[in-house]
A and B are shown apart, each in its own frame.
Chain A
Amino acid sequence: MSLVDAPLAVGYTLGDFLLVAAAGFAVLAVGMLYRAVVGPTMQDRVLAVNVLGTNTVVILAILGAALGEPTFLDIALVYALLNFLMAIAISKFTVERGGVL
């Protein structure tokens, strides 16, 4: 019926594979967290959090597909908007004169 239930190999379905992939993206996001903690500059942290946020969007979308929850995509959309806003706002207000954009 749904593509998620299509068999892939040895009894596992595409849905299972997507869940594993989402876990992979989560591991990458945790790796990015190192840069967010270490820095050394504020811009490094913002950058790392921005990449982390993009990863979160992808994780949300993949989970939505794997679990058959299309509403996750709406959440991912809102998250992407907020992520962009976060990057712009922080870069704008960490600079003394606030001259970015």
Chain B
Amino acid sequence: MTAAPIETARVWLVVALTLLGLFFSFVSMVGVLRLPDVYSRAHTASQADTLGAGFGLAAVALTVGLAGAGFKSVLLLFFIFVTNPTAAHAIARAAFEEGIVPWIEGDDRR
């Protein structure tokens, strides 16, 4: 059985989006594990992870189809794009108010 070309394109697009999502989530994890202080970790946590989750959810939306429950996935995507940076900001600000000095080059704490 052969699928219609448009279906095939959609399938491969889903695959590509999922892989992109995995890649950026991977970057986010490496960043959170490698970077020296809470501020730099917050960078990857908010940015790479938002993008990773965005690609993953876009893949889900494409799989499910916008007619079905896919728009919920879009809603989720939008929600994560608004809340993730806000949460990162709240955490970074909490660290700042606690008096944690940002790491700079030459600092020995890692």
Of A3, A50, A54, the residue contacting B63 (CB under 8 A) is A3
- In the assembled complex, the Cα of A92 lies from the Cα of B102 at a distance in Å of 20
Main secondary structure, interface of B, reads helix
Structural contact, A58 and B15, CB atoms closer than 8 A = no
Within 8 Å CB of B57, what residues of A?
A: 58, 61
Interface residues on B, range: 35 or more
- In the assembled complex, the Cα of A83 lies from the Cα of B53 at a distance in Å of 14
Structural contact, B22 and A47, CB atoms closer than 8 A = no
Given A47-B32, A65-B64, residue A54 in contact with residue B49 (CB < 8 A): yes
Query: A11 near B: Cβ within 8 Å?
Result: no
Measured between C-beta atoms, what is the minimum distance from B73 to chain A in Å? 6
Type the 1/0 row for B71-110, where 1 means its CB is closer than 8 Å to any CB of A: 0110110011001101110111111011010000000000
Structural contact, A58 and B91, CB atoms closer than 8 A = no
13 contacts between A and B (CB under 8 A): A7-B1, A32-B33, A50-B88, A51-B49, A58-B25, A61-B73, A70-B68, A73-B72, A77-B75, A80-B83, A84-B87, A87-B90, A99-B97
Within 8 Å CB of B95, what residues of A?
A: 41, 43
Which B residues are within 8 Å of any A CB, using their own CB?
1, 3, 7-8, 10-11, 14-15, 18-19, 21-22, 25-26, 28-29, 32-33, 38, 41-42, 45, 49-50, 52-53, 56-57, 59-60, 62-65, 68-69, 72-73, 75-76, 79-80, 83-84, 86-88, 90-95, 97-98, 100
